[in-house]
C-alpha cells in the first residue's frame, strides 16, 4: 500500500524540471516549466507540462500521481472460475451432432464421381 499523503509523497518522489516543448510562445520555450515526478517505491512516472507555471504543473503532477496510486492501492477482485451447466454442455453436443450430419450429407455418395 502506497501513501497518498502529499507530505509523504514529496519525500518519496524525485522531482525533475525541463523545458516543455510545443506551442506557448517565447516564455514557455525559455523557462523550465515542465515537471516529471518519479515515485521510487512504485516506479510510477507522471509528467505535467500543461501550464506555463512550474508551480501549477507541480501541483497537477502530484494530483495525477495521487490518482494513479489510489488505483494501485485498490485490491483486485478475486476471479471466480465458472463452469457450464450440464444442460448447456448437452445442447452443445446436440448442435455438434447436427453439424456433423449436415456435413455428411454434403459428401458425394460412394460410387458416384463428380
User: Could you read off the pLDDT of 6-21 as tens digits, one per residue?
Assistant: 999 999 999 999 988 7
pTM: 0.66
Each domain of the chain, given as residue ranges in start order, spans: 6-73
Residue 93 makes CB contacts below 8 A (sequence gap 6+) with: none
CATH of region 6-73, choose from 3.50.50.60, 3.30.70.20, 3.30.160.20, 2.60.40.10: 3.30.160.20
DSSP 59-86: HHHHHHHHHHHHHHHSPPPPP------H
pLDDT at 112: 67
Amino acid at each position: 500500500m502506497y501513501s497518498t499523503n502529499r507530505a509523504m509523497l514529496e519525500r518519496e518522489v524525485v522531482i525533475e524540471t525541463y523545458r516543455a516543448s510545443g506551442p506557448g510562445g517565447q516564455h514557455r520555450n525559455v523557462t523550465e516549466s515542465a515537471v516529471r515526478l518519479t515515485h521510487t517505491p512504485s516506479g510510477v512516472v507522471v509528467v505535467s507540462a500543461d501550464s506555463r507555471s512550474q508551480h501549477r504543473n507541480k501541483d497537477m503532477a502530484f494530483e495525477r500521481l495521487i490518482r494513479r496510486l489510489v488505483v494501485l492501492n485498490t485490491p483486485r477482485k478475486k476471479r471466480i472460475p465458472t463452469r457450464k451447466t450440464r444442460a448447456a454442455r448437452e445442447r452443445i453436443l446436440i448442435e455438434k451432432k447436427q453439424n456433423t450430419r449436415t456435413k455428411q450429407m454434403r459428401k458425394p455418395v460412394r460410387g458416384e464421381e463428380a
